Structure 1
Amino acid sequence: MLQYILVVAVFHSHMSRAETTGTSCNETHPCPLIGSQPLQHCPELVSEGGHLNVVLRVQTGFYDFDWLRLVRRTYNNLTCSHTWRVKPGDTVNVTLINDLETGTHISETEDIQNTTNLHTHGLHISPLEPQDNAFVSVKPGESYQYSFKIIDDHAPGSYWYHPHHHESTTLQLLSGMAGMLIVEDDPNKMESALNAVSCPENCEHDISLVVSPMLLMASVIAQQRVVDDYLRLPFELENWLAGSLSEFAVNGQLKPVITLEKDQMTRFRFLHVGFVSPLELRVVDDDGQIAPCDIREIARDGVYFDRVKEPRLGQSVLHPGNRLDWLIKCTSTGTFKIFSEAKEEGFLSFGGLLRRTLVLATIDVTETRNVSSMDFPKTLPSLPSYLDDLRDVVPDQYISIEIGGDITLNREKWTTHTNYRFKVEVDSVVEVQMLSSYYTFSHPMHFHINHMQVIGYQPYTGPVSYYKFGSDPSHIWEMRDQDGKLCHYQHKDYVEGAASKAFNVTDPLKFVGHYDRWVNGGIDSLAYDQAGEWVDTFFSPSLSNITLRMKADRFTGPLLIHCHLPLDSDGGMMMVIEVVEKGADLGGANILSAGAAPGSCHRCEWNRYVDYPEDCISQHSGRSSEDVILDLLVMMMMITDIANNGTVVQRQPFDIMPRRFYNKNL
């Protein structure tokens, strides 16, 4: 009955809008959407007296785009969810109320899609209830009270909130359920030029731009059909939209118009809610040429850079989940476009990730009224101690994370939130070796609670994972070395011979070489995160090896790590490590999967997580003593290398082990 009522309501609303606007476009006679309305600023909720109290109601609502009305799951029936503005030291209380439908007409699958929770993406707060616990489940008709304190020394910046319930995140993000969360700067701790374009004192020049996948209609409709969603459009209209509308919405609008004055510096806070595709941003004129607008990047993922800088290679890249803060100043009047352009030259760095070329918004630059010319700031605010530079710090602990076949991490899909793959001590410096063995697809990886500092790329010499599609189970995969030889170490669901045809792919090593591209810094390095940057969502391209470090600062509990492509995380591409008290037992973590360590292939390869087999030692007895001593030193020591760009890169033995030693087949 509910589905019938909603469809009838949508039909009549289309007809009434068509009659009002004088257009013949409606759901039975669709036509291209135009959009291009003045930018709507998302409504704000601002803390007062050290508190922010929020009622976040999840409910069915309507989104209107020209003649088209969409029925979606929303926050508070808003096309653009509230922006929360808080200060360090504030207490935030969020009452999450789930008013989505339940009852006999709702299937079990639909009930899962209507179950929700809340994640404050990027905030440095506790992962325990009632704070940022991603494993809370709020079913239709239920509510949950979140309460958390923004620590006194929290980094000011651009963060966000969104649902995170396992298996329903995809559809809810595609519905537009996401909002900006800004931890405001202290005006006394930043340069006057930056204060002039920043809240809390100059919010009129501080613009949030929430880039949402809600109009990627082929993806939305496909997901609705997979889960048999009841919030559907007529089948014929769905087919038309799937082939005709593939755009990102900005603040819940299609290609909105942002009005700026000439020479007025403005702060743009981009939030890429994402789905699959990255944003590769620049500002162009109607001919696709660079617009007369000066742009500077000042922060990523809520953390200020160490300097104001121009977009590297002329474009600013945001992967799904990222935020990026621009300062923009246009020196001529005119109409320009914020354009995401997927250049062919950057293909290898994105490692097979689906990319799009499209217009996000229009910038209408008018004559100056009362603007005094202002230069870009020369300095940016300093960072709190929990974001101290770790590049020259010797880590306390090491962990490795391997992206593998069938959207797995460390050879397994996520099972429960207590299946800890590693344990680390609170306040320790942890080095993370991020390996991606899958040969043809890349992933933006998100760490909850703690930001990661990018240390550097390393050569990838590890195994390669291959799919065999269309089998039963749906994805059978296997591990091979880079010469095509089957690995000894596979995964817990491996069936010998079942994926033998998976290896017959064209150019399986085409993306190898990220280290060289990263060091050289040319156009084919566009997708890469840069050394020294702090991120909570970093890009892991296929067949890559990246070194990162974090400080497990002050908070204990489960630290969730997952791909921020929601289809992948809903499908099980998540893992949990536990941050424990100082001196606590670090045993009991499930580091190995069916005896396989992350990055392992053959038995006679060195790996920090398993004992080196005694019978492998004899295989090297015929080599010179000098070679044996050299290899043993490499195994035992951490070698510091100065890359071509001057960045100190800490390499681990596994990264640089001579191939003749760690691969018995060479």
Structure 2
Amino acid sequence: MDRTLDTAPGAARTPVRRTALASALLILALPPAVAAQDDAPRELEQPVMARMLRSGDQAKPLLALTPAGAQPVDTREALLDLRIALTRSKIWNPKSQRYDEVELRSYQSPGTHPDTPFVAPTIVTAPGETVRIRLDNQLPKQPDCTPKDINVPHCFNSTNLHSHGLWVSPTGNSDNVLLTLKPGVAFEYEYNLPADHPSGTYWYHPHLHGSTALQVSSGMAGAMLVRGNRLPAVGRNGDLDTLLRDADGAAMPERVLLFQQVAYACRDQDNKIKVEKNAAGDTIAWVCEPGDLGGIEGYDQFGFAPGATVDTWVQSGRHTSINGDVLPTFNGLVAGRIERWRMLHAGVRDTINLQLRELRPSHPSPEGLSGAALDNWVARNCTGPVVPQFEVATDGLTRARVAEKNENVLQPGYRSDALVVFPKAGQYCVIDAAAVASASITNAAEDRQLLGIADVAAGGGAPIAQLRPYVTERLVAAAESRMPADLRAGIVAALRDGLRLDAFVPHRDIAQSELTGEQTLEFNIDTDKTPNVYMVDGHAYDPGKSRDLVLGNVEEWKLSSARGGHPFHIHVNPFQVVRVLNPKGVDVSVSGDPNDSQYAQMQGTWKDTVFVKFGYTVFVRTRYQRYIGEYVLHCHILEHEDQGMMQNVRVLVPDGEGGGIGKSHH
């Protein structure tokens, strides 16, 4: 059936087709809709834009900022209503070649797409703006659900909200993840973005200890884009957005790609997950039969089942979705046109090794294939040259130098902004390429998995033989036409010198001489206990204890893991990667390991999440700036967090005291 997208009240309702867009922000005047059929191609569409009410225009809801980066109104406030509810919809299952009916917790807002309701709207804001989110928890009420052990997953219908990566206060009604919003409670969050907030790609999701993984895996996640129009100036770096434009000033086309891993399951009368087994009795996939209703209602849907040697995500046979679609087709691509891909890993635990490869001509259709058969199809047909990704930002923060990547390893919580240009018309595979066991969260070698197909139309020019010089010249042309006259020559010279972006990095490097102290942190899992105990520094999460830090200090952190690999994430202040030592003590943050590229070109980058491999030591530096208060650090394998792999952090005023009434430094 056709679907429509509301504009302002009284405006015509515009039919919309589920198709990929040249820009993540073009949501009006789209082609007519087509009938939704189970066998129809699933065309990738951008997440809907949050319809935000901005001060100065109270009479009607406004769309988010334009691609050109329009300035917020005078009072610089934006309001979004966001409701949480149980939502029934469907998810494509390649194995059964039909849609599975599901009921999952989801964010709902004006304009929520009925076909992909498990993708939250994209919020667009700007430095200096205040974003108010009215969060209304309309999930069913639950009886008292708090267990004796806080690290046992619980209270699946209680929630809160985290603005992942934003540099805002962690207290009060700002990015406060220590709040609990029970069913029936509505609460207004207020994110006051400072005027010097970095532009970039961020995201938001629930963060209540005990229910985080279950809710995020349901699809409760959305992109949050901070757009900036600050040109570089003497003594101040500028926003990358001002460079990523055509010579005539038009914003570079872009796509938001939200990767999710919705681990839904159907259960039998004994409340056990329905599975398909092979002749040997091994589970090869989770099963939902016609009439079943899939859901996410237990932590047996995450991690390793008792006695299992395969991670439940691998065992489930579920597919990573992109913007709510499984195995979609990327349309609207044109050969020779550079696009900015804003990629967000909003999944719970599976590593994504994103690779773009030319598809072999005269290939058989992958329709109807799944599991090993689909992996074999990829191995036989996705054999053409790799299309490199030119990464310009990690975790929303502009890199000092563009990183050319043939594969882009994304761990949960990571974001990667990359410039992508296809050299010629044709079809390309978007794949989650094979990864060695040590590079993967599941700690097992993973097969290739097809994520989608990119259809690239002819651009009118000859095929591009060398993409790096092509990208360089386009950025140079933009700099020559857009950058301030007194800085233009230096910016152009930096671009020609290995695609350096010095004038756009949001934070100063942290030198050894600036350090005032150090911190150490070790992840571990005690597997000798049942259930396993998930720990930071030898202790499971205790909300009554905290790691005390002092405002104004600058410290180096030594991160390690005693069992498995874990993505380290800390709220509020980002960090700069200094070095990564492998088990032999060799720094792999420049060239990477021979069989694992994930640390390559990471030295010096600013991030808020970094993977800590078993046997490796990751050194990062950070400044405790602007904000005091209590927040958290944790593993971003979210069921690890829910089960204890988290620690409170308390930033104190500069004398190390003043931690609150009755509290002092300890």
TM-score range, shorter chain: 0.5 to 0.7
Secondary structure, counterpart of 1:195 in structure 2 = coil
The answer to whether the 8 A contact 2:657-2:665 is kept is no
Instruction: Choose which of 555, 578, 596 in structure 2 pairs with 1:430.
Output: 555
Partner of 1:59: 85
Instruction: Choose which of 130, 142, 167 in structure 2 pairs with 1:91.
Output: 130
Instruction: Choose which of 379, 382, 397 in structure 2 pairs with 1:303.
Output: 397
* Deviation (angstroms), 1:244: 6.7
Q: 1:221 to 1:55 in 2, by over 3 A?
A: farther
Q: 1:94 to 1:354 in 2, by over 3 A?
A: farther
The answer to whether the 8 A contact 1:395-1:430 is kept is yes
The answer to whether the 8 A contact 1:36-1:254 is kept is no
Deviations 1:342-395 (A, max 9, x none): 244xx445586346431222211012269998745235373576x210144341
Partner of 2:183: 140
Amino acid across the alignment from 2:554: V
Q: Given the alignment of the two structures, is residue 174 of structure 1 paired with residue 174 of structure 2, yes or no? A: no
The answer to whether the 8 A contact 2:548-2:665 is kept is no
The answer to whether the 8 A contact 2:204-2:221 is kept is yes
Partner of 1:283: 356
Partner of 1:393: 513
Partner of 1:557: 629
The answer to whether the 8 A contact 1:261-1:369 is kept is no
Secondary structure, counterpart of 2:220 in structure 1 = coil
The answer to whether the 8 A contact 1:429-1:552 is kept is yes
Partner of 1:566: 638
Amino acid across the alignment from 2:429: K
Instruction: Choose which of 418, 423, 427 in structure 2 pairs with 1:331.
Output: 423
Q: Given the alignment of the two structures, is residue 37 of structure 1 paired with residue 67 of structure 2, yes or no? A: no
TM-score, length basis structure 2? 0.67
Amino acid across the alignment from 1:41: Q
TM-score, length basis structure 1? 0.67
Q: 1:274 to 1:351 in 2, by over 3 A?
A: closer
Deviations 1:227-265 (A, max 9, x none): 99xxx9779956999967421110001122112011111
| Distance across 2 between alignment mates of 1:54 and 1:43 | 13
Instruction: Choose which of 566, 573, 595 in structure 2 pairs with 1:524.
Output: 595
Instruction: Choose which of 451, 457, 464 in structure 2 pairs with 1:360.
Output: 451
Q: Given the alignment of the two structures, is residue 100 of structure 1 paired with residue 139 of structure 2, yes or no? A: yes
| Distance across 2 between alignment mates of 1:58 and 1:292 | 41
Partner of 1:411: 538
| Residue segments in structure 1 that go unaligned for 5+ positions in a row | 1-19, 24-33, 460-511, 592-666
Deviations 1:511-569 (A, max 9, x none): x4363655763433423262111110111111222211101111111131000001100
| Distance across 1 between alignment mates of 2:651 and 2:645 | 20
Q: Given the alignment of the two structures, is residue 266 of structure 1 paired with residue 339 of structure 2, yes or no? A: yes
The answer to whether the 8 A contact 2:389-2:407 is kept is no
Partner of 2:655: 583
Structure with higher Rg: it is 1
* Deviation (angstroms), 1:80: 2.1
Partner of 1:456: 579
Secondary structure, counterpart of 2:42 in structure 1 = coil
- Within 5 Å, give how 1:202-241 maps onto structure 2: 202=251, 205-214=253-262, 216-217=263-264
| Distance across 2 between alignment mates of 1:146 and 1:518 | 38
| Distance across 1 between alignment mates of 2:587 and 2:143 | 58
Secondary structure, counterpart of 2:349 in structure 1 = coil
Amino acid across the alignment from 2:352: L
The answer to whether the 8 A contact 1:292-1:331 is kept is no
Instruction: Choose which of 380, 396, 421 in structure 1 pairs with 2:501.
Output: 380
| Distance across 1 between alignment mates of 2:40 and 2:347 | 20
How many pairs align?
493
| Distance across 1 between alignment mates of 2:166 and 2:122 | 15
* Deviation (angstroms), 1:398: 1.4
Q: Given the alignment of the two structures, is residue 195 of structure 1 paired with residue 252 of structure 2, yes or no? A: no
- Within 5 Å, give how 1:147-158 maps onto structure 2: 147-158=190-201
Deviations 1:416-451 (A, max 9, x none): 1x411x32211211111112222xx11001010111
| Residue segments in structure 2 that go unaligned for 5+ positions in a row | 1-34, 51-63, 66-71, 93-98, 232-237, 275-286, 295-300, 302-311, 360-380, 465-469, 476-494, 526-532
Q: Given the alignment of the two structures, is residue 165 of structure 1 paired with residue 213 of structure 2, yes or no? A: no
The answer to whether the 8 A contact 1:348-1:524 is kept is no
- Within 5 Å, give how 1:533-552 maps onto structure 2: 533-552=605-624
* Deviation (angstroms), 1:63: 2.8
Q: 1:427 to 1:399 in 2, by over 3 A?
A: same
Q: 1:167 to 1:514 in 2, by over 3 A?
A: farther
Secondary structure, counterpart of 2:568 in structure 1 = strand
Secondary structure, counterpart of 2:84 in structure 1 = strand
Instruction: Choose which of 121, 131, 135 in structure 2 pairs with 1:82.
Output: 121
Partner of 2:326: 254
Amino acid across the alignment from 1:150: L
Structure 1 range deviating more: 172-181 or 108-117: 108-117
The answer to whether the 8 A contact 1:217-1:245 is kept is no
Amino acid across the alignment from 2:422: C
Amino acid across the alignment from 2:44: L
Q: 1:126 to 1:244 in 2, by over 3 A?
A: closer
Deviations 1:296-319 (A, max 9, x none): 1111000011112201xx211111
Partner of 1:70: 102
- Within 5 Å, give how 1:7-26 maps onto structure 2: none
The answer to whether the 8 A contact 2:397-2:606 is kept is yes
Amino acid across the alignment from 1:202: A
Secondary structure, counterpart of 1:246 in structure 2 = coil
Partner of 2:235: none
Q: 1:106 to 1:394 in 2, by over 3 A?
A: closer
Q: 1:233 to 1:255 in 2, by over 3 A?
A: closer
Partner of 2:566: 443
Structure 1 range deviating more: 243-252 or 133-142: 243-252
| Distance across 2 between alignment mates of 1:241 and 1:299 | 29
Amino acid across the alignment from 1:132: D
* Deviation (angstroms), 1:577: 2.1
Secondary structure, counterpart of 2:503 in structure 1 = coil
The answer to whether the 8 A contact 1:562-1:569 is kept is yes
Deviations 1:14-47 (A, max 9, x none): xxxxxx9897xxxxxxxxxx77411111111325
Secondary structure, counterpart of 2:639 in structure 1 = helix
Aligned-residue Cα RMSD (Å) equals 3.7
Structure 1 range deviating more: 233-242 or 84-93: 233-242
Q: Percent identity?
A: 24
Q: 1:194 to 1:255 in 2, by over 3 A?
A: farther
Instruction: Choose which of 174, 181, 196 in structure 2 pairs with 1:131.
Output: 174
